[in-house]
């Protein structure tokens, strides 16, 4: 498997459930990102990790909890979500941190389509 | 505040016609500028970046620092160019995307 892989591709959960989204990249990149793509809103940057450290948190509610155990894996833990959290969640990676000297382009996964009932 | 604006949500042209997708940005400093594209049933991917100054699939983008614009252009649109296009300035620690323009090229 090459590139950025996201699992599951589809997830349906109730508001009281706890679930996790997983992202894996085999590109040797040092930065990883979570974006939210809703039907009627632009792509929203949620979290940014560089070398496993979180460097950006764009006022995301605490019911979303990211985890980056190593530079190849990124998780988004979900707990007590709301129906308005239903969206496509995209993971991306880049060689270096955006805005840095080695940033490069972002490589995206296919996304995890989340539906909150 | 960092902001990127793509004023047209939808753009429709006939095959062979010129096309221009507009992007205006408001960013502190001098961001690096990108255009990303998402074809039907494919993942979001890079189309071109300003620093490379390349023409990709016949598309070019000119940075106008005075107008803070980075419009995407192609002189002769093809049906396979139909897709969603996103302008993305890269700032410190993040890359933010415009709302996107859906381009439809009709035969």
Contact A98 B94 (CB under 8 A): yes
Q: How far is CA B36 from CA A62, A78, A93, A97, in A?
A: 30, 28, 14, 18
- State whether A106 and B95 contact (CB < 8 Å): yes
Of A65, A67, A81, the closest CA to residue A24 belongs to A67
**What pLDDT shows up at residue B61?**
94
Do B95 and A56 lie within an 8 Å CB cutoff?
no
State the pLDDT at residue A108: 96
pLDDT of the residue at A101: 63
Dump pLDDT digits (tens) for B58-94: 999 988 888 899 999 999 999 999 999 999 988 777 7
Q: Which of B49, B86, B93 sits opposite A43 (nearest CB)?
A: B86
- Interchain pair B94, A56: CB under 8 A: yes
The Cα–Cα gap between B46 and B85 comes to: 10
A82-102 pLDDT, tens digit each: 999 999 999 999 988 777 666
> Scanning every residue of chain A, which has its alpha carbon at the shortest distance from the alpha carbon of B95?
A98
pLDDT in tens, A33-54: 999 999 878 899 999 998 888 8
Q: Does the pLDDT value for residue B22 go beyond 70?
A: yes
Q: Which residue has the tokens 């490589």?
A: A107
Which residues of B, range 26-65, sit inside 8 Å of A by Cβ?
31-32, 34, 36, 43-46, 49
CA–CA gap between residue B90 and residue A8 (Å, rounded): 28
Residue in B closest to A43 by C-alpha: B97
Please give the backbone phi and psi of residue B4, each rounded to the nearest 5 degrees, phi first: -135, 135
Q: Which of A68-72, A106-110, B66-70, B91-95 has the lowest mean pLDDT?
A: B91-95
- pLDDT tens for residues B30-62? 788 999 999 999 999 999 988 777 888 999 998
Does B89 touch chain A if contact means CB atoms closer than 8 Å?
no
Min Cα distance B33 → chain A (Å) is 10
* CA proximity to B96, closest of B40, B23, B42: B23
């Amino acid at each position: 498997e090459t590139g950025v892989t996201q699992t599951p591709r589809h997830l349906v959960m109730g508001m009281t459930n706890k679930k996790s989204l997983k992202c894996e990249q085999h590109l040797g990149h040092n930065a990883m990102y979570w974006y939210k793509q809703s039907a009627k809103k632009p792509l929203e940057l949620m979290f940014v990790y560089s070398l496993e450290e979180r460097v950006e948190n764009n006022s995301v509610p605490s019911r979303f909890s990211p985890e980056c155990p190593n530079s190849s894996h990124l998780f988004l833990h979900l707990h007590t979500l709301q129906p308005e959290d239903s969206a496509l969640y995209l993971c991306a990676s880049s060689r270096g941190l955006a805005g840095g000297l080695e940033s490069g382009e972002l490589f995206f996964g296919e996304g995890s389509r989340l539906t909150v009932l | 505040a960092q902001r990127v604006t793509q004023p047209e949500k939808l753009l429709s042209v006939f095959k062979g016609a010129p096309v221009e997708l507009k992007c205006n940005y408001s960013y502190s400093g001098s961001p690096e500028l990108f255009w990303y594209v998402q074809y039907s049933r494919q993942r979001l991917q890079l189309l071109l970046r300003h620093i490379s100054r390349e023409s990709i699939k016949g598309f070019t983008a000119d940075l106008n620092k005075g107008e803070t614009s980075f419009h995407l252009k192609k002189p002769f649109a093809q049906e396979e160019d139909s897709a969603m296009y996103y302008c993305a300035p890269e700032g410190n620690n993040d890359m933010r995307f415009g709302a996107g323009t859906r381009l439809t090229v009709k035969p």
